[in-house]
Structure 1
Amino acid sequence: MRLFLLRLFFVVALPALLVALWWLASDGSTNVYWPPLRTILRTFPDVWTSERLRSDLVPSVLRLLAGYAAAAVVGVALGTVIGSYRRVRAVCEPVLEFLRAVPPPVLVPVIMLFAGIGDTMKIAVIASGCVWPILLNTVEGVRAVDSVMAETARSYGITGVARLRSVVLRAASPQIFAGLRQALSIGIILMVISEMFAASNGLGFTIVQFQRSFAIPDMWTGILVLGLLGFLLSVVFQLVERRVLGWYHGLRAVSRRSP
Protein backbone atom coordinates (compact mmCIF):
# COMPACT_ATOMS: atom_id res chain seq x y z
CA MET A 1 0.00 0.00 0.00
CA ARG A 2 2.81 2.39 0.87
CA LEU A 3 4.53 1.67 -2.45
CA PHE A 4 1.29 2.35 -4.33
CA LEU A 5 0.79 5.67 -2.52
CA LEU A 6 4.38 6.66 -3.25
CA ARG A 7 3.96 5.92 -6.95
CA LEU A 8 0.66 7.82 -6.99
CA PHE A 9 2.37 10.80 -5.38
CA PHE A 10 5.09 10.88 -8.04
CA VAL A 11 2.47 10.62 -10.80
CA VAL A 12 0.29 13.41 -9.42
CA ALA A 13 2.92 15.72 -7.89
CA LEU A 14 4.39 17.26 -11.05
CA PRO A 15 1.05 17.87 -12.86
CA ALA A 16 -0.38 19.41 -9.68
CA LEU A 17 2.68 21.64 -9.34
CA LEU A 18 2.46 22.79 -12.96
CA VAL A 19 -1.26 23.55 -12.64
CA ALA A 20 -0.59 25.53 -9.45
CA LEU A 21 2.17 27.51 -11.16
CA TRP A 22 -0.10 28.21 -14.13
CA TRP A 23 -2.89 29.33 -11.81
CA LEU A 24 -0.59 31.70 -9.91
CA ALA A 25 1.16 33.04 -13.02
CA SER A 26 -2.09 33.79 -14.85
CA ASP A 27 -4.09 34.99 -11.86
CA GLY A 28 -5.08 38.61 -12.36
CA SER A 29 -3.94 38.60 -16.00
CA THR A 30 -5.68 41.18 -18.21
CA ASN A 31 -3.96 40.00 -21.39
CA VAL A 32 -6.66 38.82 -23.81
CA TYR A 33 -4.33 36.11 -25.16
CA TRP A 34 -3.32 34.88 -21.70
CA PRO A 35 -6.55 34.55 -19.70
CA PRO A 36 -6.49 33.35 -16.08
CA LEU A 37 -6.68 29.59 -15.64
CA ARG A 38 -9.84 29.94 -13.58
CA THR A 39 -11.52 31.59 -16.58
CA ILE A 40 -10.46 28.74 -18.84
CA LEU A 41 -11.72 26.10 -16.40
CA ARG A 42 -15.00 27.97 -15.95
CA THR A 43 -15.44 28.07 -19.73
CA PHE A 44 -14.57 24.40 -20.22
CA PRO A 45 -17.95 22.74 -19.42
CA ASP A 46 -19.83 25.30 -21.51
CA VAL A 47 -17.67 24.63 -24.57
CA TRP A 48 -17.08 20.88 -24.40
CA THR A 49 -20.61 19.59 -24.15
CA SER A 50 -21.53 16.02 -25.05
CA GLU A 51 -22.66 17.22 -28.49
CA ARG A 52 -19.31 18.88 -29.23
CA LEU A 53 -17.43 15.84 -27.97
CA ARG A 54 -19.38 13.66 -30.42
CA SER A 55 -18.95 16.07 -33.33
CA ASP A 56 -15.29 17.01 -32.83
CA LEU A 57 -13.45 14.75 -30.39
CA VAL A 58 -14.78 11.38 -31.60
CA PRO A 59 -13.96 11.98 -35.31
CA SER A 60 -10.44 13.09 -34.37
CA VAL A 61 -9.83 9.98 -32.27
CA LEU A 62 -11.18 7.68 -35.00
CA ARG A 63 -8.90 9.29 -37.61
CA LEU A 64 -5.93 9.00 -35.27
CA LEU A 65 -6.61 5.34 -34.54
CA ALA A 66 -7.12 4.51 -38.22
CA GLY A 67 -3.90 6.22 -39.32
CA TYR A 68 -1.96 4.81 -36.39
CA ALA A 69 -3.19 1.26 -37.05
CA ALA A 70 -2.34 1.52 -40.76
CA ALA A 71 1.16 2.77 -39.93
CA ALA A 72 1.66 -0.03 -37.38
CA VAL A 73 0.70 -2.75 -39.88
CA VAL A 74 2.80 -1.31 -42.71
CA GLY A 75 5.75 -0.42 -40.47
CA VAL A 76 6.00 -3.80 -38.75
CA ALA A 77 5.48 -5.76 -41.99
CA LEU A 78 8.03 -3.81 -44.05
CA GLY A 79 10.44 -3.53 -41.14
CA THR A 80 10.41 -7.29 -40.63
CA VAL A 81 11.18 -7.93 -44.30
CA ILE A 82 13.90 -5.27 -44.50
CA GLY A 83 15.49 -6.32 -41.22
CA SER A 84 15.51 -10.01 -42.12
CA TYR A 85 17.33 -9.75 -45.46
CA ARG A 86 20.67 -7.95 -45.76
CA ARG A 87 20.38 -7.31 -49.50
CA VAL A 88 16.89 -5.85 -49.19
CA ARG A 89 18.16 -3.61 -46.39
CA ALA A 90 21.11 -2.42 -48.49
CA VAL A 91 18.77 -1.48 -51.35
CA CYS A 92 16.09 0.18 -49.21
CA GLU A 93 18.16 2.13 -46.66
CA PRO A 94 19.06 5.11 -48.93
CA VAL A 95 15.42 5.50 -49.97
CA LEU A 96 14.19 5.20 -46.38
CA GLU A 97 16.67 7.80 -45.15
CA PHE A 98 15.53 10.18 -47.89
CA LEU A 99 11.80 9.70 -47.23
CA ARG A 100 11.96 9.95 -43.45
CA ALA A 101 13.86 13.26 -43.76
CA VAL A 102 10.79 14.84 -45.41
CA PRO A 103 8.60 16.43 -42.68
CA PRO A 104 5.10 14.91 -42.84
CA PRO A 105 3.31 18.31 -42.61
CA VAL A 106 4.97 19.27 -45.91
CA LEU A 107 3.17 16.34 -47.55
CA VAL A 108 -0.30 17.60 -46.57
CA PRO A 109 -0.83 19.64 -49.79
CA VAL A 110 0.49 16.75 -51.89
CA ILE A 111 -1.77 14.20 -50.18
CA MET A 112 -4.72 16.56 -50.64
CA LEU A 113 -4.15 16.50 -54.40
CA PHE A 114 -4.55 12.71 -54.51
CA ALA A 115 -6.85 11.95 -51.57
CA GLY A 116 -9.05 15.04 -51.52
CA ILE A 117 -10.03 16.85 -48.32
CA GLY A 118 -12.01 14.13 -46.57
CA ASP A 119 -11.10 11.68 -43.86
CA THR A 120 -8.90 9.69 -46.26
CA MET A 121 -6.48 12.61 -46.51
CA LYS A 122 -6.28 13.05 -42.76
CA ILE A 123 -5.72 9.34 -42.14
CA ALA A 124 -3.03 9.26 -44.85
CA VAL A 125 -1.24 12.23 -43.28
CA ILE A 126 -1.25 10.56 -39.85
CA ALA A 127 -0.05 7.25 -41.29
CA SER A 128 2.70 8.90 -43.36
CA GLY A 129 4.28 10.35 -40.22
CA CYS A 130 3.67 7.47 -37.80
CA VAL A 131 5.11 4.78 -40.06
CA TRP A 132 8.77 5.86 -39.84
CA PRO A 133 9.57 5.32 -36.15
CA ILE A 134 7.71 2.01 -36.26
CA LEU A 135 9.46 0.89 -39.44
CA LEU A 136 12.97 1.88 -38.38
CA ASN A 137 12.65 0.46 -34.88
CA THR A 138 11.30 -2.79 -36.31
CA VAL A 139 14.25 -3.03 -38.70
CA GLU A 140 16.72 -2.55 -35.85
CA GLY A 141 14.84 -4.94 -33.59
CA VAL A 142 14.79 -7.70 -36.21
CA ARG A 143 18.48 -7.16 -36.98
CA ALA A 144 19.32 -7.52 -33.28
CA VAL A 145 17.69 -10.95 -32.89
CA ASP A 146 20.20 -13.21 -31.13
CA SER A 147 21.89 -15.47 -33.67
CA VAL A 148 22.14 -18.32 -31.14
CA MET A 149 18.39 -18.14 -30.55
CA ALA A 150 17.73 -18.14 -34.30
CA GLU A 151 19.99 -21.14 -34.87
CA THR A 152 18.45 -23.03 -31.97
CA ALA A 153 14.97 -22.46 -33.41
CA ARG A 154 16.15 -23.68 -36.80
CA SER A 155 17.70 -26.82 -35.30
CA TYR A 156 14.39 -27.64 -33.62
CA GLY A 157 12.56 -27.24 -36.90
CA ILE A 158 10.85 -23.97 -36.01
CA THR A 159 10.57 -22.26 -39.37
CA GLY A 160 8.20 -20.12 -41.40
CA VAL A 161 5.35 -18.36 -39.61
CA ALA A 162 6.08 -20.08 -36.31
CA ARG A 163 9.67 -18.80 -36.33
CA LEU A 164 8.51 -15.32 -37.30
CA ARG A 165 5.92 -15.17 -34.52
CA SER A 166 7.75 -16.98 -31.71
CA VAL A 167 11.35 -15.91 -32.31
CA VAL A 168 11.76 -12.86 -34.56
CA LEU A 169 8.79 -10.69 -33.58
CA ARG A 170 8.98 -11.72 -29.93
CA ALA A 171 12.65 -10.79 -29.68
CA ALA A 172 12.10 -7.54 -31.59
CA SER A 173 8.91 -6.58 -29.72
CA PRO A 174 10.57 -4.28 -27.13
CA GLN A 175 12.05 -2.15 -29.91
CA ILE A 176 8.83 -2.31 -31.92
CA PHE A 177 6.91 -0.94 -28.95
CA ALA A 178 9.50 1.82 -28.59
CA GLY A 179 8.66 2.84 -32.17
CA LEU A 180 4.93 2.58 -31.48
CA ARG A 181 5.31 4.90 -28.50
CA GLN A 182 7.16 7.50 -30.59
CA ALA A 183 4.57 7.19 -33.35
CA LEU A 184 1.70 7.87 -30.96
CA SER A 185 2.90 11.39 -30.11
CA ILE A 186 3.64 12.08 -33.78
CA GLY A 187 0.15 10.88 -34.69
CA ILE A 188 -1.52 13.33 -32.28
CA ILE A 189 0.46 16.22 -33.77
CA LEU A 190 -0.39 15.23 -37.34
CA MET A 191 -4.04 14.69 -36.41
CA VAL A 192 -4.28 18.34 -35.38
CA ILE A 193 -2.31 19.62 -38.39
CA SER A 194 -4.37 17.63 -40.89
CA GLU A 195 -7.61 18.98 -39.39
CA MET A 196 -6.41 22.56 -39.86
CA PHE A 197 -6.55 22.07 -43.64
CA ALA A 198 -10.00 22.12 -45.28
CA ALA A 199 -11.81 20.37 -42.42
CA SER A 200 -15.31 20.79 -41.07
CA ASN A 201 -14.84 19.11 -37.68
CA GLY A 202 -12.18 17.76 -35.35
CA LEU A 203 -10.04 19.19 -32.58
CA GLY A 204 -7.64 21.00 -34.92
CA PHE A 205 -10.51 22.60 -36.84
CA THR A 206 -12.28 23.66 -33.64
CA ILE A 207 -9.19 25.24 -32.08
CA VAL A 208 -8.47 27.22 -35.24
CA GLN A 209 -12.09 28.39 -35.41
CA PHE A 210 -11.91 29.60 -31.81
CA GLN A 211 -8.67 31.45 -32.59
CA ARG A 212 -10.10 33.11 -35.70
CA SER A 213 -13.18 34.27 -33.82
CA PHE A 214 -11.02 35.56 -30.93
CA ALA A 215 -12.69 33.19 -28.46
CA ILE A 216 -9.38 32.84 -26.63
CA PRO A 217 -10.59 31.03 -23.46
CA ASP A 218 -12.45 28.58 -25.70
CA MET A 219 -9.25 28.05 -27.69
CA TRP A 220 -7.35 27.26 -24.50
CA THR A 221 -9.99 24.70 -23.51
CA GLY A 222 -9.33 22.93 -26.82
CA ILE A 223 -5.62 22.81 -26.00
CA LEU A 224 -6.47 21.29 -22.60
CA VAL A 225 -8.60 18.64 -24.33
CA LEU A 226 -5.64 17.77 -26.56
CA GLY A 227 -3.38 17.41 -23.53
CA LEU A 228 -5.91 15.20 -21.73
CA LEU A 229 -6.36 13.08 -24.86
CA GLY A 230 -2.60 12.58 -25.15
CA PHE A 231 -2.38 11.63 -21.47
CA LEU A 232 -5.21 9.08 -21.70
CA LEU A 233 -3.77 7.50 -24.85
CA SER A 234 -0.38 7.27 -23.15
CA VAL A 235 -1.92 5.49 -20.15
CA VAL A 236 -3.75 3.03 -22.39
CA PHE A 237 -0.55 2.41 -24.36
CA GLN A 238 1.40 1.70 -21.16
CA LEU A 239 -1.22 -0.81 -20.01
CA VAL A 240 -1.09 -2.64 -23.35
CA GLU A 241 2.70 -2.53 -23.39
CA ARG A 242 2.99 -3.98 -19.88
CA ARG A 243 0.61 -6.78 -20.78
CA VAL A 244 2.30 -7.69 -24.07
CA LEU A 245 5.86 -7.22 -22.80
CA GLY A 246 5.31 -8.70 -19.35
CA TRP A 247 7.96 -11.34 -20.02
CA TYR A 248 10.50 -8.65 -20.99
CA HIS A 249 9.92 -6.49 -17.92
CA GLY A 250 10.10 -9.64 -15.79
CA LEU A 251 13.50 -10.53 -17.22
CA ARG A 252 14.78 -7.00 -16.62
CA ALA A 253 13.56 -7.08 -13.01
CA VAL A 254 15.32 -10.42 -12.43
CA SER A 255 18.55 -9.19 -14.01
CA ARG A 256 18.55 -6.10 -11.78
CA ARG A 257 18.16 -8.24 -8.65
CA SER A 258 20.89 -10.69 -9.58
CA PRO A 259 24.44 -9.75 -8.43
Structure 2
Amino acid sequence: MTLTAAVPSGERNRVQNRAHVPLAVSTVIFALRPHPETGLSTLWLPLVRRIRDPFEGLWALPGGWVRADESLADAAARNLLETTHVRPAYLEQLYAFGDVDRSPTGRVVSVVYWALVRAEQIEREPEGENVRWVLADELPELAFDHNLIVEYALWRLRTKVEYSRIAQAFLGETFTLSELRHVHEAIRGVALDPANFRRQMLSGDALVVTDERVTGGRHRPPRLYRYDTSIELADNGPLPPYRPEGNRS
Protein backbone atom coordinates (compact mmCIF):
# COMPACT_ATOMS: atom_id res chain seq x y z
CA MET A 1 0.00 0.00 0.00
CA THR A 2 1.37 3.40 -0.95
CA LEU A 3 1.27 6.44 1.25
CA THR A 4 -1.00 8.23 -1.22
CA ALA A 5 -3.62 5.45 -1.10
CA ALA A 6 -3.64 5.47 2.70
CA VAL A 7 -4.29 9.23 3.00
CA PRO A 8 -7.82 10.70 2.58
CA SER A 9 -8.17 12.78 -0.60
CA GLY A 10 -8.55 16.11 1.23
CA GLU A 11 -5.46 15.51 3.35
CA ARG A 12 -3.59 14.19 0.30
CA ASN A 13 -4.22 17.47 -1.52
CA ARG A 14 -2.90 19.42 1.44
CA VAL A 15 0.23 17.24 1.55
CA GLN A 16 0.79 17.77 -2.17
CA ASN A 17 0.35 21.52 -1.82
CA ARG A 18 2.91 21.63 0.96
CA ALA A 19 5.33 19.60 -1.13
CA HIS A 20 5.28 22.17 -3.91
CA VAL A 21 6.27 25.29 -1.95
CA PRO A 22 8.63 27.26 -4.23
CA LEU A 23 12.25 27.41 -3.05
CA ALA A 24 14.38 30.51 -3.62
CA VAL A 25 17.72 31.86 -2.45
CA SER A 26 18.67 35.41 -1.49
CA THR A 27 22.08 36.80 -0.59
CA VAL A 28 23.19 39.59 1.71
CA ILE A 29 26.65 40.64 0.56
CA PHE A 30 28.75 42.99 2.66
CA ALA A 31 31.71 45.14 1.63
CA LEU A 32 33.59 47.94 3.38
CA ARG A 33 33.53 51.32 1.65
CA PRO A 34 34.00 54.92 2.86
CA HIS A 35 30.99 56.64 4.39
CA PRO A 36 29.91 59.50 2.05
CA GLU A 37 29.96 62.05 4.90
CA THR A 38 32.56 60.89 7.43
CA GLY A 39 34.89 59.04 5.09
CA LEU A 40 35.18 56.24 7.67
CA SER A 41 35.10 52.65 6.51
CA THR A 42 31.48 51.45 6.70
CA LEU A 43 29.46 48.37 5.79
CA TRP A 44 27.63 48.55 2.43
CA LEU A 45 25.51 46.03 0.55
CA PRO A 46 24.06 45.81 -2.98
CA LEU A 47 20.34 45.93 -3.74
CA VAL A 48 18.49 45.20 -6.97
CA ARG A 49 15.38 47.03 -8.16
CA ARG A 50 12.38 44.81 -8.80
CA ILE A 51 11.10 45.23 -12.36
CA ARG A 52 7.88 43.24 -11.93
CA ASP A 53 5.15 42.64 -9.38
CA PRO A 54 4.99 42.04 -6.53
CA PHE A 55 6.73 45.15 -5.18
CA GLU A 56 7.63 46.49 -8.62
CA GLY A 57 10.01 49.44 -8.24
CA LEU A 58 11.12 48.59 -4.70
CA TRP A 59 14.66 47.53 -3.88
CA ALA A 60 15.39 43.97 -2.78
CA LEU A 61 18.24 41.60 -2.05
CA PRO A 62 19.83 39.72 -4.96
CA GLY A 63 18.23 36.33 -5.38
CA GLY A 64 16.23 33.96 -7.50
CA TRP A 65 14.91 30.43 -7.85
CA VAL A 66 16.92 27.28 -7.19
CA ARG A 67 17.53 25.07 -10.20
CA ALA A 68 16.99 21.34 -9.92
CA ASP A 69 20.62 20.54 -10.77
CA GLU A 70 22.44 22.88 -8.34
CA SER A 71 23.11 23.09 -4.64
CA LEU A 72 21.72 25.93 -2.54
CA ALA A 73 25.17 27.52 -2.21
CA ASP A 74 25.76 27.32 -5.96
CA ALA A 75 22.34 28.86 -6.62
CA ALA A 76 23.15 31.75 -4.26
CA ALA A 77 26.54 32.33 -5.90
CA ARG A 78 25.05 32.14 -9.41
CA ASN A 79 22.25 34.60 -8.66
CA LEU A 80 24.73 36.96 -7.05
CA LEU A 81 27.03 36.84 -10.06
CA GLU A 82 24.15 37.35 -12.51
CA THR A 83 22.71 40.39 -10.71
CA THR A 84 25.78 42.16 -9.28
CA HIS A 85 28.73 40.57 -11.19
CA VAL A 86 30.36 39.75 -7.84
CA ARG A 87 31.93 36.37 -7.08
CA PRO A 88 32.33 36.13 -3.29
CA ALA A 89 35.30 34.49 -1.59
CA TYR A 90 33.20 33.77 1.50
CA LEU A 91 29.64 32.51 1.41
CA GLU A 92 27.70 31.04 4.31
CA GLN A 93 24.11 29.96 4.81
CA LEU A 94 22.39 32.37 7.17
CA TYR A 95 18.80 31.27 7.77
CA ALA A 96 15.66 29.98 6.07
CA PHE A 97 12.78 32.47 5.94
CA GLY A 98 9.43 30.85 5.31
CA ASP A 99 6.56 32.75 6.94
CA VAL A 100 3.34 31.88 5.15
CA ASP A 101 2.50 35.49 4.29
CA ARG A 102 5.99 36.78 3.40
CA SER A 103 5.02 36.96 -0.30
CA PRO A 104 1.66 38.30 -1.55
CA THR A 105 1.69 35.83 -4.46
CA GLY A 106 1.76 32.72 -2.27
CA ARG A 107 4.01 30.69 -0.03
CA VAL A 108 7.73 31.02 -0.84
CA VAL A 109 10.62 29.72 1.24
CA SER A 110 13.90 31.62 0.83
CA VAL A 111 17.19 30.18 2.01
CA VAL A 112 19.36 33.22 2.71
CA TYR A 113 23.13 33.34 2.38
CA TRP A 114 25.51 36.08 3.38
CA ALA A 115 28.77 36.87 1.62
CA LEU A 116 31.80 39.08 2.21
CA VAL A 117 33.90 40.74 -0.49
CA ARG A 118 36.83 43.14 -0.53
CA ALA A 119 36.40 46.68 -1.76
CA GLU A 120 38.58 46.19 -4.84
CA GLN A 121 36.20 43.47 -6.06
CA ILE A 122 33.31 45.94 -6.34
CA GLU A 123 35.14 49.09 -7.38
CA ARG A 124 35.55 47.72 -10.89
CA GLU A 125 31.84 46.88 -11.16
CA PRO A 126 29.85 50.06 -11.93
CA GLU A 127 26.33 50.46 -10.58
CA GLY A 128 23.47 50.09 -13.03
CA GLU A 129 19.99 51.48 -13.15
CA ASN A 130 18.68 48.45 -11.27
CA VAL A 131 21.69 47.73 -9.02
CA ARG A 132 22.76 50.05 -6.21
CA TRP A 133 25.13 49.83 -3.24
CA VAL A 134 23.68 51.33 -0.04
CA LEU A 135 24.75 51.78 3.57
CA ALA A 136 23.81 48.64 5.50
CA ASP A 137 22.50 50.67 8.46
CA GLU A 138 20.52 53.14 6.32
CA LEU A 139 18.26 50.97 4.19
CA PRO A 140 15.17 52.15 2.32
CA GLU A 141 11.95 50.16 2.55
CA LEU A 142 12.69 46.84 0.88
CA ALA A 143 10.46 44.28 -0.79
CA PHE A 144 9.13 41.25 1.07
CA ASP A 145 10.79 40.76 4.49
CA HIS A 146 14.23 41.81 3.28
CA ASN A 147 14.68 44.56 5.89
CA LEU A 148 14.38 41.88 8.58
CA ILE A 149 16.80 39.64 6.69
CA VAL A 150 19.47 42.37 6.53
CA GLU A 151 18.97 43.17 10.21
CA TYR A 152 19.57 39.54 11.08
CA ALA A 153 22.62 39.30 8.79
CA LEU A 154 24.16 42.39 10.43
CA TRP A 155 23.63 40.88 13.86
CA ARG A 156 25.21 37.63 12.72
CA LEU A 157 28.27 39.35 11.21
CA ARG A 158 28.84 41.59 14.23
CA THR A 159 28.56 38.65 16.59
CA LYS A 160 30.77 36.35 14.55
CA VAL A 161 33.62 38.81 14.03
CA GLU A 162 34.30 38.78 17.77
CA TYR A 163 35.20 35.07 17.93
CA SER A 164 36.28 34.02 14.41
CA ARG A 165 38.82 35.18 11.84
CA ILE A 166 36.06 36.22 9.47
CA ALA A 167 37.47 39.78 9.32
CA GLN A 168 40.14 38.48 6.93
CA ALA A 169 37.52 38.33 4.19
CA PHE A 170 37.82 42.14 4.02
CA LEU A 171 41.64 42.16 4.04
CA GLY A 172 44.50 41.03 1.86
CA GLU A 173 46.73 38.07 2.61
CA THR A 174 48.86 40.18 4.96
CA PHE A 175 47.84 43.19 7.03
CA THR A 176 48.83 45.35 9.97
CA LEU A 177 47.12 45.19 13.34
CA SER A 178 45.87 48.71 12.70
CA GLU A 179 44.18 47.60 9.47
CA LEU A 180 42.62 44.63 11.26
CA ARG A 181 41.36 46.91 14.05
CA HIS A 182 39.77 49.26 11.52
CA VAL A 183 37.86 46.33 10.02
CA HIS A 184 36.57 45.33 13.45
CA GLU A 185 35.56 48.93 14.17
CA ALA A 186 33.73 49.25 10.85
CA ILE A 187 31.81 46.01 11.39
CA ARG A 188 30.98 46.54 15.05
CA GLY A 189 30.37 50.28 14.75
CA VAL A 190 32.47 51.19 17.79
CA ALA A 191 35.93 52.64 18.42
CA LEU A 192 38.36 50.12 19.95
CA ASP A 193 41.32 50.86 22.17
CA PRO A 194 44.46 50.05 20.10
CA ALA A 195 46.44 48.61 23.02
CA ASN A 196 43.62 46.38 24.24
CA PHE A 197 42.85 45.22 20.69
CA ARG A 198 46.50 44.36 20.07
CA ARG A 199 46.69 42.39 23.31
CA GLN A 200 43.47 40.53 22.50
CA MET A 201 44.53 39.62 18.96
CA LEU A 202 48.00 38.42 19.95
CA SER A 203 46.77 36.38 22.91
CA GLY A 204 45.42 33.66 20.62
CA ASP A 205 47.08 31.53 17.96
CA ALA A 206 45.07 32.64 14.90
CA LEU A 207 47.51 35.42 13.87
CA VAL A 208 50.93 34.61 12.49
CA VAL A 209 53.65 37.28 12.50
CA THR A 210 55.61 37.62 9.25
CA ASP A 211 59.09 38.93 8.56
CA GLU A 212 57.63 41.76 6.47
CA ARG A 213 56.97 45.36 7.41
CA VAL A 214 55.12 48.20 5.69
CA THR A 215 57.56 50.45 3.86
CA GLY A 216 57.43 54.09 2.84
CA GLY A 217 56.26 55.70 6.10
CA ARG A 218 58.07 58.32 8.18
CA HIS A 219 57.70 56.39 11.42
CA ARG A 220 58.85 52.94 12.42
CA PRO A 221 57.24 50.63 9.83
CA PRO A 222 54.53 48.42 11.34
CA ARG A 223 54.87 44.66 11.13
CA LEU A 224 52.64 42.62 8.84
CA TYR A 225 50.60 39.69 10.04
CA ARG A 226 48.60 36.95 8.41
CA TYR A 227 46.00 34.49 9.62
CA ASP A 228 46.82 30.84 10.13
CA THR A 229 45.37 29.42 6.91
CA SER A 230 44.81 26.03 8.54
CA ILE A 231 41.96 27.68 10.46
CA GLU A 232 38.76 28.29 8.48
CA LEU A 233 37.33 31.81 8.31
CA ALA A 234 34.49 30.62 10.53
CA ASP A 235 33.63 27.43 12.34
CA ASN A 236 31.21 25.52 10.11
CA GLY A 237 30.91 22.52 12.39
CA PRO A 238 30.73 19.16 10.56
CA LEU A 239 29.62 20.82 7.31
CA PRO A 240 32.23 21.48 4.61
CA PRO A 241 33.06 25.16 3.96
CA TYR A 242 31.84 26.75 0.75
CA ARG A 243 34.47 26.76 -1.99
CA PRO A 244 34.00 29.21 -4.91
CA GLU A 245 33.72 27.57 -8.33
CA GLY A 246 37.15 26.90 -9.72
CA ASN A 247 38.70 26.67 -6.26
CA ARG A 248 37.25 23.46 -4.83
CA SER A 249 40.30 21.45 -3.95
Instruction: Tell me the TM-score normalised to structure 2 length.
Output: 0.26
Larger Rg: 1
Greater percentage in strand: 2
Instruction: Tell me the TM-score normalised to structure 1 length.
Output: 0.25
Greater percentage in helix: 1
